[in-house]
Amino acid sequence: MIARVSEGEIARRRKELEEKLGAEGIAGTCLFSPHNVFYFSRFAFIATERPIALAWAFGKRPVLFVPLLEREHAGEACDVEIATYPEYPDERHPMERLADILRELGLEGKRIGVDSDGYGGGYGYRGPKLSEVLEARVVVVAQELERMMWIKSPEEIELLRESAKWANLAHSLLQEYTAPGLTETEISARASLEASAAVFRALGPDYRPTKPGLPAHAGFRGQVGPGSAVPHAITTNARIKRGDVLVTGATADVGGYWAELERTMIVGKPTEEQRRYFELMLAAQDLAFREIKPGRRCADVDRAVREFFVNEGTEAYWRHHTGHGLGIRMHEAPFLDIGDDTVIEPGMVFSVEPGIYIPGFAGFRHSDTVVVTEDGVERLTHYPRALADLVIE
């Protein structure tokens, strides 16, 4: 049972990046994005006003640059050299201290690959660009980093498979505890807490969540009754009633990887109208599964689903693309969207979630996580999809 990314996997990624960027005359990198820092170091952190960066001269050991309050946390998480600064903004700005480290690494005057020219900020952060504190040619390589994440390694797929298993458990508890008269938050809290406790028991002492809060979650996020027609609703603590359509979501953090599982449930006997839209949504998802194949383009999948909606007369109820990449972020490129011509390859992982949304009435969406194989897809989420299995009596 795998609980986190191995040091061998981190070493593989670094080697791949060093070979890729080194061939372009780039001597090292300085990464600021929390996701990129995590991907190449296994250090997960809460981004605040305090800059954090992974500085790395190719051929040398990477240096993780963190505020003093993160020193012990960083040391426990990953096998890199740790360099600290006292605080932000402090008497000397952290970016100036980071420039010193890059000089010590021999990167001054060289080409340095970055995901952004300086810390992205937020939480009131203000500071100079990296190119303003260091004499070097800063080259933005964000797209190269993103492309590396498109194809998941066998280890990453196993982490997503494990995440899907716990998402399935969290959702089964959510469905078990859903009943008319209860609020969405009390149902979600009970299911999420119980599933999270099971994750900690099963994965053991090596398991480390990478985000604050419960590591397994299942809930409704405000998609209750007419609110189910709002694709990205926000929880309102709605009370479940008979006749409601419910759009759910469940996931679990395993090694920083997140599978996506969503289902449409109906409280009480479905009406003919509810049944019709449910079955159309299910048919659209089945179509998308069939359309995802190596060599095809992401746009082809979305185009086929949109044509299906047009032919069924439901194009007015379309609101979003067919799916998106998944991994250490809940949304990653590439996208199953008519505007994305990325060629699909084995090892890519997608959510598949075409939806139908009728304002004032209800929304209908399943989402499953799939990995692309040599001849199609393998579903990692295995929760029942048929209407008969998703009715709350």
Q: How many CA atoms lie within 13 A of 223 on its CB side?
A: 29
Pair (179, 300) in one structural domain:
yes
Contacts of 363 (CB under 8 A, 6+ apart): 223, 228, 229, 230, 231, 245, 247, 264, 355, 356, 357
How far, in Å, are 5, 131, 132 from residue 141 at the CA level?
Answer: 23, 15, 18
Point out the domain boundary residue: 88, 115, 148: 148
What's residue 317's pLDDT? 97
Six token digits for residue 302: 């979305």
In a domain, 95, yes or no: yes
Q: Are residues 142 and 165 in the same domain?
A: no
What's the confidence (pLDDT) of residue 76?
A: 83
Q: What is the pLDDT of residues 281-302, one digit of tens each?
A: 999 999 999 999 999 999 999 9
Same domain, 135 and 260: no
| Boundary of a domain, candidates 116, 148, 180 | 148
Q: Which of 217, 165, 224, 166 is nearest to 190 (CA)?
A: 217
Q: What is the mean pLDDT of residues 363-388?
A: 98
pLDDT digits (tens, 9 = 90+) for 162-184: 999 999 999 999 999 999 999 99
Q: Residue 1: pLDDT above 80? A: no
Q: Are 185 and 143 found together in one domain? A: no
Q: What is the CATH number of the domain that holds 32?
A: 3.40.350.10
Pair (95, 171) in one structural domain = no
Last residue of a domain, one of 93, 123, 148: 148
Does some domain include residue 52?
A: yes
pLDDT of residue 121: 80
The two three-digit tokens of residue 262, written as one number: 């969503």
User: Which alpha helices (H) appear in the chain, and where do they start and end?
Assistant: 7-22, 34-41, 71-77, 94-104, 130-133, 142-150, 154-177, 184-203, 272-291, 298-311
Indicate if 190 and 58 belong to the same structural domain.
no
Distance CA 177, CA 190 (A): 8
Tell me: pLDDT of 307 over 90: yes
* Beta strands 362-365 and 355-358, pairing class: antiparallel
pLDDT tens readout for residues 115-171? 999 998 889 999 999 999 999 999 999 999 999 999 999 999 999 999 999 999 999
> Which pLDDT score is estimated for 206?
80
Give CA 263 to chain center in angstroms. Answer: 18
Q: What's CA 385's distance to the chain center, in Å? A: 22
The 8-class DSSP code of residue 151 comes to B
Q: Clarify whether residues 44 and 157 are in a common domain.
A: no
Tell me if residue 18 falls in helix, strand or coil: helix
Structural domain containing residue 347: 151-392
Same domain, 19 and 131: yes
Average pLDDT rounded to a whole number, residues 257-275: 98
Same domain, 316 and 343: yes
| Number of domains observed in the structure of the chain | 2
296: tokens are 């095809």
Q: Which residues pair with 224 in a beta bridge?
A: 246
Of the candidates 12, 250, 268, the one whose C-alpha atom is nearest the C-alpha of residue 152 is 12
Alpha-carbon span 225 to 23, nearest angstrom? 55
Mean pLDDT of 235-254: 97
CATH of the domain at 230: 3.90.230.10
Confidence grade of residue 320 (pLDDT, cut at 50, 70, 90): very high
Question: Angle at the Cα of 332 (from 193 to 41), degrees rounded to 5?
Answer: 75
In angstroms, the CA 293 to CA 284 distance is 16
Q: What is the pLDDT of residue 3?
A: 86
What is the per-residue pLDDT for 185?
97
- Pairing relationship of beta strands 249-254 and 216-219 according to DSSP bridges: antiparallel
Residue 1 domain-assigned (yes or no): no
Place of tokens 């379309």: 318
Nearest to 165 by CA among 190, 202, 205, 206: 202
Question: Quick one: 140 and 156 in the same domain?
Answer: no
Q: Which tens digits make up the pLDDT trace of 42-80?
A: 999 999 999 999 999 999 999 999 999 999 999 887 889
In a domain, 2, yes or no: no
| % of the chain exceeding 90 in pLDDT | 95
- Interhelix angle 34-41/142-150, nearest 10 degrees: 60
Q: What number is the average pLDDT over the span 273-277?
A: 98
| Long-range contacts from 338-341, C-beta under 8 angstroms, 24+ separation | 338/299, 338/302, 338/303, 338/306, 339/299, 340/297, 340/298, 340/299, 340/302, 341/297, 341/298, 341/299
Q: Mark whether 143 and 158 lie in a shared domain.
A: no
The mean pLDDT value of the chain amounts to 96
Q: Are residues 171 and 135 in the same domain?
A: no
For strand 391-392 and strand 264-267, is the pairing parallel, antiparallel, or unpaired? parallel
